[in-house]
Amino acid sequence: MSSARSDEKRALSAAARLYAVQALFQMEASGQSADRVQREFRDFRIGAEDEGGVQPEADENLFRRITDDAVTWQSRIDQSTDRALVAKWPIDRIDPVLRALFRAAGAELVTPKTPPRVVIVEYVKLAEAFFPEGREPKFVNAVLDHMAHSLRPEAFG
């Protein structure tokens, strides 16, 4: 694969992860179904033009897989997240953006399609974008590392 093609694939994957976090946040905040939110993102957000310009294209299959798997495996993902958090801060008490981010990352960790270290790096980058001045990216790194070891121990030999 050429370098340009590889860069394009990475950009499409990064955008899919960003959209998945946003969609999971929206689903929780509004109580909308995954199908409805996925349809809204496909029709009005991914690659769409708005007053701010053209939104980035994304790997729609990855976007759909992350959001579907986050819903399917939410209980398992939330339990894994809870085990990684301090006892005083269960998942239902953390920032809803972080909760959506942990659910999206957890969806990728539950299935063995993406190496855990890649999942951690990609979602820490998203945390840096959402929280550029805060300590959240380090927190996300620590929680995802714990979750990855718990959900995919075979990947750490």
What is the domain extent for residue 69?
Answer: 1-155
Amino acid identity of residue 39, one-letter, is R
- Least Cα distance to 16 among 136, 94, 126, 95 occurs for 126
How confident is the model at residue 22, as a pLDDT? Answer: 98
Whichever domain contains 127, its CATH number is 1.10.940.10
Contact 56, 99 (CB under 8 A): no
Query: Count of CB atoms within 10 A of residue 1's CB?
Result: 8
How confident is the model at residue 4, as a pLDDT? Answer: 83
Q: Which residues contact 90 (CB under 8 A, 6 or more apart)?
A: 82
Distances (CA, A) of 49 to 18, 45, 54, 93: 17, 8, 4, 35
How confident is the model at residue 58, as a pLDDT? Answer: 97
How confident is the model at residue 92, as a pLDDT? Answer: 81
Number of domains in the chain: 1
Angle at 58 between CA 51 and CA 149, to 5 degrees: 125
pTM over 0.95: no
- Residue with tokens 């694939």, as numbered in its chain: 9
Q: What are the 10-residue block averages of pLDDT along the chain, 157 residues in total?
A: 84 97 98 97 92 91 98 96 83 92 98 94 97 94 96 91
How confident is the model at residue 36, as a pLDDT? Answer: 97
How confident is the model at residue 115, as a pLDDT? Answer: 96
How confident is the model at residue 1, as a pLDDT? Answer: 58
